[in-house]
Structure formats: structure tokens, C-alpha cells
Amino acid sequence: NEGALWGGRFSGGPSDALAALSKSTQFDWRLAPYDIAGSRAHARVLHAKALLDDAELEGMIAALDRLEADVRSGAYAPADSDEDVHGALERGLIERAGVDLGGKLRAGRSRNDQIATLGRMYLRDHASYIAEDVLAVIDALIAQSQRHPYAPMPGRTHLQHAQPVLLSHHLLAHAWALYRDLDRLADWDRRAAVSPYGSGALAGSSLGLDPVAVARELGFDSAVHNSIDGTAGRDVYAEFSWITAMIAVDLSRVSEEVILWATKEFSFVTLHDSFSTGSSIMPQKKNPDIAELARGKAGRLIGDHAGLLATLKALPLAYNRDLQEDKEPIFDAIDQLEVLLPAVAGMIDTLDFHTERLAELAPQGFALATDVAEWLVRQGVPFRVAHELAGDAVRVCEERGCELWDLSDEDYAAISEHLTPGVREVLTVEGSLSSRSSQGGTAPEAVAAQLEALTAALQEP
């Protein structure tokens, strides 16, 4: 079997059961272009050590180029008998370069350093695609907040009315969380930009090959300083999978709100037709499936991350075949995010906010009680007392079934001599919002400043 990379010391071939268990081409074939890039770089360091002559290097690169074209077009694909991407590609190389030349490439490398390197290359590429997609969600949140710079909404804690906030302030809170995910991906890349190629099976190579030259050709900043770490370390994968899970969790939080907002009871938003779904039986239905899938997939990505950590737990050095299980969870996380993020971006960008309803609800549920207490503090009343007095006003309102602004000057005077008619200046949403003008607050000018800060942060490299 030409796809086999081992066999000399075995008297017979592998059993069908082993071959079926061992096989990974069904998921690792997506790494083929990266493996071929690694092979080109490896051929050049073999040549630098005179282990390939000029003609051999030229023939090898030409054969690898043809192989890559055939892999990309689909003309070349793994056979049933191929164990993994490495074996399948060696078979393809030998078909194109002949066994004498093709058989020389494997010197000084192992599937262990290859796979560790290819995984990092794949993750780094997809980290940048995911970052672009996350940025599109952030842009949608920014666009919505720019469409509604002054619209108030009920701010909530414990899902209960708490204090009025600007809708733009609320939306940008989700944008900041996603911005930190972008920052995490960029920071992660520093650790991922180190190539394990040249680590061999675990101990390095005796052929004097230059790992740094390979690293540079493959777009890494440097090569690992420890071949055991290079072949057996997977914390860089685990960190990546944590970041993808965090992104999914962040999407699930905004999605859960969209699900609530789109209910009849909230009526905060209408979903765009092209980003919502119908029911096969109920003709009236318009469902927030994108948001629900985001919520559901967050669970899935947490599972991917937990599964990967469980694979790594207590694994002795160096390479163990358990590590073949590292790929499917991260590939799954990437695949899910790459279909989810564009859908969430579109859903958010096309939300139709019912700003009148948001404005009407913003002060309800005694959401201005804190403003009353803080107004009293500005009149010199200790906050402990102010809190009690504002609470008294809420209680009176609750008894009468009215809101704070419905109480008369006499009602307020009866509660406390400190509650003079001047308190009315904070009994409006606008007064409440504009008073929260320090950095990070919900006043229109503070939100404009935070948007500027976020835009500036996004511009940083």
C-alpha cells in the first residue's frame, strides 16, 4: 500500500478494524494545502544541506506544485487505504515525482512535527477570517447605534427595569465584548506564530535542517525552542478554542436579547424578513432562528473546548495518538462560527427598533428613583437617607398605582422637606440620561466619546 508511511517491521498489513479506527483523512484532508506548503519549505532545507541536489529540488517543487493544483481542483483525493493527510500526499507525490525522488522528502521530519505545524497554520488563517466576521458584527452594532444616537430604552438589571440608558449605549456594550475577542485573537497569534517544524518525532533532527528557515517560509515569526513542546504542546489550540467559545458566548448574549426583544410582550424590534424564518404550520409566525442558533451553537462550542481540554488532560509527553483528537473540535468551532457570524451580523444590521415604545418604557417601573436619590445627595442629604426617601416615594406611587412624576409637589413635601419641587428636573428620561456624563456613562456626549474610543481601538493594528 503506497499510502502507508510505515510497515517495514510488520509482517502483515493492519487489520481492517485498526485501519478504520486510525483513519483521519475524512477530517484532516482540509490541511492538505498547508502540508504541501510545509513540504516545499522542507525540500528547500534538505537542499540547503545537500540532501537534495539542484535538479532534485526543482523536480520536487514542480511535483508538489502539480499535486497542489490537483488537490485544489479535486482531481487528487485521498484513497480509502490512506491513513491520514500525510500518507495520502506522499502517495500523490510519488505518483508525480517517482518513488526515488518522492521517497526522499520524508527525511528529517515526522508526522508529529508536521501535524503540529499544519494545525497552527490552519488556525492562524481561520483566526483572521473569523476576526473579519467578528468585525462585521461589531460594525452592525455600531451602525445601529449611529442610527439611534439619542433613543432611550429601559436599562435592566435582573431583567427588571433599572435605569434609562441610550439604546446606542446598550448596543455598544455588546460591541466592546466582541472587540476584546478580536484583541484576544490578535494576542493569541503572537503565541501561535511559532513553528514546530523541525522538531521531528520529538527530539529534533540529526540532518542539520534549519527550522527557522522553514518557519519563515511558512509565515511564522520563529521556530520552537523545544522539540518536545513543539510536537506535544497543544495549549495554543486550546487557547484558540477558548476564544472561539467566548465569541460564541458573546453572540449568544446579544442573541438572547434579540429573541426577547422580538416577542409580542417586549415589541422592541422587528426582524427583517430575510433574517427570520416562518413556521410550517402557523402562517403568522416570524421566528428569530438565527439568534436561537447562535444561542444553541454557543453550547456546542463550549463542548468543543471542554472536549479538547479533556483530551489534553494528564497526557504524558511527548506525542501520543490521543492528539489526533485535537482536530475535530477546533475544526467544528471554526466551521460553526464561519456560518454563524455573517448571519448574526446581517440580523443585527437589519433590526428595526421600535424607538417610540423603547422611549415610553424607559422611565417606567420607577427607573428614575436613583435620580431622585442622587438629586437629594446634590442637595446635601446623606445617601443613606436619600435612598430611604426615594424609596418612600416609590412606595407611595405603588400604593396609588402611579409613576414618580405623577406625585404632586405636596406629595413630595409630605414625604420630606428635602423633596422640593426642584426634584422634577430629574424626573425625565432626558434629565436622567444627560446627568450620567462621566466617562463610560449613558449621556449622549459620553456615548459619542465611547464610540470614538471604540472606533479608534478598532483602527489599531
Residue 115 found at the interface with ligand ARG (CB under 6 A): yes
Q: Pull the grid cell for residue 454.
A: 471604540
- Alpha-carbon distance of 239 to 236, in angstroms, equals 5
CB-CB contact of 88 with 25 (8 Å): yes
Number of other residues whose CB lies within 10 A of the CB of residue 128: 13
Residues 6+ apart with CB under 8 A from 23: 82, 83, 84
CB of 314 to ligand ARG, least distance (A): 18
112 part of the interface to ligand ARG, by CB under 6 A = yes
- Note if 279 is an active site residue: yes
Q: Looking at beta carbons only, is 110 or 244 nearer to ligand ARG?
A: 110
Residues in the chain: 461
Say which of 11, 15, 158, 206 is annotated catalytic.
158
Closest approach, Cβ 327 to ligand ARG, in A, equals 6
Give least dist CB 118 to ligand ARG, A: 9
Cis ω before 449 (30° cut-off from 0) = no
Per-residue binding string, ligand ARG, 11-50, x by CB under 6 A, is: -------------x--------------------------
The residue from 22, 222, 267, 279 that is catalytic is 279
The burial of 147, by beta-carbon neighbours within 10 Å (0-12 exposed, 13-18 middle, 19 or more buried), is given as: middle
Query: Of 110-118, 249-257, 361-369, 436-444, which segment contacts ligand ARG by CB under 6 A?
Result: 110-118
Among 111, 170, 387, 436, indicate the residue that binds ligand ARG (CB under 6 A).
111
Task: Give the contact letters, 61-90, x = binds to ligand ARG (CB under 6 A), - = no.
Answer: -----------------------x------
Span interacting with ligand ARG, options 62-70, 97-105, 321-329, 451-459, rule CB under 6 A:
321-329
Per DSSP bridges, beta strands 194-195 and 222-223 are: parallel
Nearer to ligand ARG, 172 or 330 (CB): 330
**Which ranges of 193-234 does DSSP label H, i.e. alpha helix?**
211-217, 227-232
Alpha-carbon dihedral sign for residues 83, 89, 95, 98: negative
Q: How far is the CB of 120 from ligand ARG (least distance, A)?
A: 13
Exactly one of 137, 142, 251, 323 binds ligand ARG (CB under 6 A); that residue is 323
List all residues 6 or more positions away from 9 whose beta carbon is below 8 Å from its beta carbon: none
Q: List the x/- string, 255-294, binding to ligand ARG by CB under 6 A.
A: ----------------------------------------
Q: Residue 65: CA atoms inside 13 Å, Cβ hemisphere, count?
A: 6
Binding of residue 318 to ligand ARG (CB under 6 A): no
What are the cell numbers at 194?
Answer: 511559532
Whether the CB-CB separation of 367 and 437 falls below 8 Å is answered with no
Q: List residues near ligand ARG by CB under 6 A.
A: 24, 84, 111-112, 115, 319, 321, 323-324
